[in-house]
Structure 1
Amino acid sequence: MPLIKSISGFRGTIGGRAGENLTPEDIVSSVAGYGDWLIRSGARRLVVIGRDGRPSGPVVSALTAATLQSMGIDVIDCGFATTPTVEMAVVSRKAGGGIILSASHNPKEYNALKLLNDRGEFISHDAGQDLIATVRSGNITYAGVDDLGTLTQDDRALQDHIDAVLAHPLVRVEAIRAAKFSVVLDAVNSVGAISIPPLCEQLGVACQVMNATLDGEFAHNPEPLPANLTGLIERMKTSGADLGVAVDPDVDRLALVGPGGRWIGEEYTLVTVADYVLQHDPGPVVSNLSSSRALADVARKYGQEYHASKVGEVNVVEKMKEVGATIGGEGNGGIIDPRLHYGRDSLVGLALVLSHLATGGATINDLRDTYTHYEMVKDKIEMDPTLDLADALSVMEGLFPDTPKTNIDGLKLDFPDGWVHLRGSNTEPIVRVYAEADTRERAAELAGEVKGKFIELTRAQG
């Protein structure tokens, strides 16, 4: 995979040629650019770092810490840590920023530097552009020998995160303990194995763990989609557990499986949480343009407003703050609860789902039956690097003159019985094609129609 530099951070495969992959040279230059941005912003010269279970983690972490220290920046290293754990540690440790060393759902050969500001949130678009320009310029100044930064290990960050979840005003700890739930977890051999089980233990929930070896040798494609979670689905057919849960390698996405192996899915994680939250704290809800219509339906049920943002956590957070959302996130299983912090968080997501089950008396399968049923198809198109995507999508708009559309992030077409969203990925050289309708067949039909027109168009342009 080519090295991708964006406001989402720096991501690529380990090894290969400098400038084309995530090599040591690229790690050092990228981290130095971040350090330079941090210093120029006037933030405290203290950065929190943490990593998922990938085999490259120790090397990437060592290079990251040493580069920051070489710029006169002190480093707090959380070691193995979830993305939300690092985000919260930035705030609790009063740091100037943070770097999460994880390529999220990508396979083990990938890694990434995900960059945070002093609020533990992903840096803004403008900050990202500034930082990328600095990296390209190479105009970096390093500290002298008497001004090098320090390195401190932090073994408390995860428990502090769990403590904050347990203290959340909508997490019904005693009700969950009284329910004596049992959960099956697919930890995908990453930091879910050290974060979800202790949360469950402190909630009185029995937790069976699949793929619990913290070595980053992912037992399957780590993206929490049904095709990748056949083992969890099969286990739930016979386990007798109340809930099956799957997380991605950095634990900011949560997918659900019901008793009997019923796929609840990543799209309905946010819907389930919003259904619970809106009963107790009504207010606007936010998801991105590629998320299910089911969230808008739940908001409507409680007389609340639904808002859509561009894809990307930073964009969802920005929209949530703008409208004062009480809950938000992404349909990929990312729950963002502003009472805890503005970041996707599977720990608080799971605690809120369990609170819903414990206080409502319904099973997760029962709850799923109460929500509008939609099916989503997720496809992609390999993108020619020479393609002017904005121009191609502009031409695509003209091919659907009578269809309502949104173009704040790629192109979303709203048909009477479904929608299709095309957009360039922030993390891979592809165009994502998402479609949703009442049935999988209709969603696939819509996706195929729009994808076909796009491919035909780009071939003609080429």
Structure 2
Amino acid sequence: MDAISFGTDGWRARLDTFTDERVRMVGQAVADYLADVGHDAPVAVGYDARATSEGFAESLADVLADNGIDVLLPERDCPTPLVAWTIVDRDLAGALMVTASHNPPEYNGVKFIPGDGAPALPEVTDAIEERLAYPRAEGSRGSIERVDFVSPHAQQVERLVEPDCSGLTVVYDAMHGSGRGVTDELLEAAGATVIRRRCERDTSFGGTPPEPSADHLQGLVSAVEAHDADLGIANDGDADRLAVVTPKRGYLDENLFFAAMYDSLLEEESGPAVRTVSTTFLVDRVAEAHGEEVVETAVGFKWVAEAMMANDALMGGEESGGFSIRGHVPEKDGVLMAVLAADAAATESLDRHVDDLLATHGDIVADKVSVDCPDERKEPVIEALGEAIPDRVVGEAVEEVVTLDGFKLLLANGSWLLVRPSGTEPKMRVYAEAGSRERVDALLEAGRDLVESHL
């Protein structure tokens, strides 16, 4: 049991730790949790494209059924947002999703999604951890049924976006993950000409972790250029996140994508945006220009989702590529956002839209680095930083310190520096935003020096 710990987004571990026995214990804990809070509706169990995921999902379904819970399994591996939508669409008690997202194939993971379709908050995951136990049968056995998770979600996306991508050429890269046959099919149904890359299931992900980072998407950048495409889109392994490639910029910084999509939505609707403390202030400038507000949260989409629901937000997101919009489940959805991005690009190229935003609101450059830090040193480092906040950073006065998640230093010229502990790795994260590449590099170096001086 000590090996099972729900972190930022569920429990993930290498397969020598992520065993069937422990997975079944998680299933029993969820069954007990649901019984204790009085939920007796069916539960969905989804899984991604990893070699071991379907087997683990069947084990979870077996434990839940032994506890008298009816279980819905998908007909195939599927994206996490499809599982979240299934909960809301079918009024389920919740779901378990077997995925390690963008991690390499030697990992797997599982997370619980509550009945509202939003990521589980700590009080829920803590309650599940407290109930970890060996499986047992309770009462009459529930049913296990295979159902279509893909079509209902596709219908929701089409209702919400009403996309018209006629005349658009999109290169879609599934990275061998669960977005294949889902995102590309929706784009094609919307009228786009779709050129597919890595849309075959490969449980080794072609030797590259299914993480849609700039380093892993150079092939997509080249394909957009080679095919004279209007847009490139990639999903991570479980398709809850996306990355976008444009003809001019290549890999489009997620911060710029967020600002452009929010600005597009504001052309027809109104409402605040929710962003994490590590995400660009360009979103704030877009909001201010439209008379809207921005709500800032700690890093992690569970906090974004909570704030989206509390503030009836039009859009919420984080700089790591996870976004959702009003009218949908409060869970990041890389399938929905791919269709929304393509629909926007069919009206105006994303390159032109971003150019206009930067011309109006000023240049924005954002980046981040990681500093190795053992887990047991994270809290002492943060405490030490709290007692040694500098008055100036790279020659600029520190005007305000935000402590939502680590320490974010707001500087006099509008730039900022953030230092926070990673929730998934033994590292400290350092983020910076400024008006030039040189300034960002200087801020990141200063942040790294701050962390290393307290390790």
For normalisation by structure 1, the TM-score amounts to: 0.90
Structure 1, gaps ≥5 residues long: 16-20
Letter in 2 for 1:364: L
d(CA) in 2 for partners of 1:241, 1:109: 34
Corresponding residue of 2:92: 95
Asked if 1:344 is matched to 2:332, the reply is: yes
Letter in 1 for 2:268: H
Corresponding residue of 1:304: 292
Corresponding residue of 1:280: 268
Letter in 2 for 1:315: W
Corresponding residue of 1:153: 146
Q: State the Cα deviation string for residues 135-164 of structure 1 (Å, max 9, x = none).
A: 2xx3x67324x6122211012x21111111
Corresponding residue of 1:50: 46
Note the C-alpha offset of 1:70: 2.3
Corresponding residue of 1:28: 24
d(CA) in 2 for partners of 1:221, 1:9: 19
Asked if 1:124 is matched to 2:121, the reply is: yes
Note the C-alpha offset of 1:401: 4.4
Corresponding residue of 1:163: 155
Identity of aligned residues (%): 27
Letter in 2 for 1:331: E
Corresponding residue of 1:423: 420
Instruction: Tell me, yes or no, if the aligned pair for 2:408 and 2:417 is still in contact at 8 Å.
Output: yes
d(CA) in 2 for partners of 1:266, 1:85: 22
d(CA) in 1 for partners of 2:162, 2:70: 38
d(CA) in 2 for partners of 1:269, 1:99: 30
Q: Secondary structure at the match of 2:26?
A: helix
Q: Secondary structure at the match of 2:115?
A: coil
d(CA) in 1 for partners of 2:51, 2:29: 25
Structure 1 counterpart of 2:353, from 353, 360, 367: 367
Aligned length: 439
Letter in 2 for 1:74: D
Compared CA separation, residues 333 and 7, structure 1 to 2 (3 A): closer
d(CA) in 1 for partners of 2:401, 2:337: 31
Letter in 2 for 1:396: L
Letter in 1 for 2:329: H
Letter in 1 for 2:64: L
Q: State the Cα deviation string for residues 263-322 of structure 1 (Å, max 9, x = none).
A: 223222322210111111111111111112221121122121111111111100111222
Corresponding residue of 1:206: 193
Query: Any residues of structure 2 matched to 1:216-295 within 5 Å, and which?
Result: 216-219=203-206, 220-259=208-247, 262-295=250-283
Instruction: Tell me, yes or no, if the aligned pair for 1:375 and 1:436 is still in contact at 8 Å.
Output: yes
Note the C-alpha offset of 1:115: 1.0
Q: Secondary structure at the match of 1:336?
A: strand
Letter in 1 for 2:371: I
Corresponding residue of 1:193: 180
Instruction: Tell me, yes or no, if the aligned pair for 1:98 and 1:117 is still in contact at 8 Å.
Output: yes
Instruction: Tell me, yes or no, if the aligned pair for 1:31 and 1:68 is still in contact at 8 Å.
Output: yes
Structure 2, gaps ≥5 residues long: 392-397
Q: Secondary structure at the match of 2:453?
A: helix
Corresponding residue of 2:394: none
Asked if 1:60 is matched to 2:56, the reply is: yes
Note the C-alpha offset of 1:231: 0.4
Q: Secondary structure at the match of 1:255?
A: strand
After the TM superposition, which segments of 4 or more aligned residues of structure 1 sit over 6 Å from their partners? Answer: none
Compared CA separation, residues 158 and 427, structure 1 to 2 (3 A): same
Note the C-alpha offset of 1:86: 0.3
Letter in 2 for 1:431: M
| RMSD (CA atoms) | 1.9
Letter in 1 for 2:30: Y
Structure 2 counterpart of 1:142, from 121, 136, 139: 136
Asked if 1:384 is matched to 2:364, the reply is: no
Q: State the Cα deviation string for residues 224-248 of structure 1 (Å, max 9, x = none).
A: 1211111011111221111001111
Letter in 2 for 1:412: K
d(CA) in 1 for partners of 2:418, 2:211: 20
d(CA) in 2 for partners of 1:254, 1:141: 37
Instruction: Tell me, yes or no, if the aligned pair for 1:97 and 1:120 is still in contact at 8 Å.
Output: yes
